[in-house]
Amino acid sequence: MKLHLDVALCVRATSKFSECTKCVDATNGIVQIEEQLPTFAKGTGVEAAACIGACPTEAFSLSDFSATEFFFTFLDSKVRLISRKINVPCLSVLSVEHLVSLVLASDSPVTLDLNDYEQGTHLFNLISSRIEEANFVLSSFSDKVLLVNTEERVEASNESNAREKDSDSNDEEVSERRNFLRNTASLKGMIKQKQEFDEAVEAEELHQFEIDASMTQKIKDKHLPDKRKILFTTLKHTPKPRQYEVLAQEDIGFVSQKFVDESCTNCQICYRICPTGALSSNTRFSLIHFDAMLCVKCHLCHDVCEPGSIQLQPGFETREFFEPTQRTLATFNIKRCNECGNPFTYTGGEQACPRCLVEEEEAMFLHENAKKMRNEGSNE
């Protein structure tokens, strides 16, 4: 399996102001940021799978594996164990949304097998934190829980098994040496070895990405990740709790609630740039709407807001999971400019848009400057 990146879905391709590093943090540096976009070696595969579960917009993927297809295949099967040995390349490909959805949609408890991951490592801690967050979210409205299997595997300790292992290892080494000599003994074998060497070298080269004209429109399109659609659909079939709770925003990493303070200038950048359409406006651009269940907490709207007007609510109301609402975060007084006739956000004073005010100011400056030069010329 190889790692792929759909640049058009990456929030860093949407704006140079994006500070998203979730893929870098999840992979412990296997994925790097070069010239604003994620970069990784061409041969990178499962070892960087953690970025798939971490990416808020599903820009990353693995060849020959789809988390969306796995969700439905898993539910159709009778197995309720998720393990690297049987059905996923790595547990880290699953996001918190996937985990919550799997538990809610399953008719019996779901267990994650952590036996293949060494405790204390970056990957073990990452997967454990996602499990913890999933269970925390589930506990706010359900009695279902994601189970974890961390029992130690039984290792053969007698000397005969150890000797057999060493013997097998030696036989493999001899066989590998013989195969190497056999392959390189002919011209065909030499060509094959050269090809394998070239592929290995190429795999170490950086896979860098650029934004071309064909991607521009795709970047502008609004795209709701499949994992959010799955979660949304699963919650529709989940019984509503008797009462709703408020979760601390720092304890939930895949969704948020926001507010806009008085410093907002209605520059329109936030809802134009939002990758999912969580932020939106009307045809007159006189307000800012927000749908919490469409928010993937990519932080892009915060990164591009120059006055820092968009803020996170300190808590997330679990009511949104079951009764999603479109909230109005800000309203603006829109009037037509007396000079050019175009609509603009009116905040008082002369009824002229900012562009006309700037042009008027520049015209006045040029007029005063010309007048000053004429006066200086007449004095000479």
CATH number at residue 248: 3.30.70.20
| Total number of domains in the chain | 4
* pLDDT confidence tier of residue 202, bands split at 50, 70 and 90: low
Please give the average per-residue pLDDT across 116-123, as a whole number: 94
pLDDT in tens, 43-87: 899 999 999 999 999 999 999 999 999 999 999 998 999 999 999
pLDDT, tens only, 331-349: 999 999 898 988 888 888 8
145 burial type by CB count under 10 A (0-12 exposed, 13-18 middle, 19+ buried): middle
Do 319 and 278 belong to one domain? yes
> For residue 313, is pLDDT > 60?
yes
Would you say residue 228 lies in a domain?
A: no
Q: Are residues 185 and 58 in the same domain?
A: no
> Which structural domain range is residue 371 located in?
336-379
Phi-psi region of 105 (alpha: psi -120 to 50; beta: other; left: phi over 0): alpha
Average pLDDT over residues 3-9: 93
Of 297, 313, 332, at which residue does a domain stop? 332
Assess whether 159 and 75 both reside in one domain.
Answer: no
95, 126: one domain? yes
For the segment 241-266, the average pLDDT, to the nearest whole number, is 95
Are 146 and 160 contained in the same domain?
no
Task: Note whether residue 107 is domain-resident.
Answer: yes
Q: What is the pLDDT of residue 111?
A: 96
pTM over 0.85: no
Say if residue 300 is in the same domain as residue 346.
Answer: no
Mean pLDDT, residues 210-238 taken together: 85
Alpha helix positions (H), the chain = 11-14, 22-27, 50-54, 67-76, 96-105, 122-139, 159-184, 187-204, 213-220, 226-236, 269-273, 300-304, 319-322, 354-379
Do 260 and 160 share a structural domain?
A: no
71 and 112 part of one domain:
yes
Q: What is the pLDDT of residues 152-176, one digit of tens each?
A: 543 333 344 444 445 555 555 555 5
Residues 181, 96 within the same domain: no
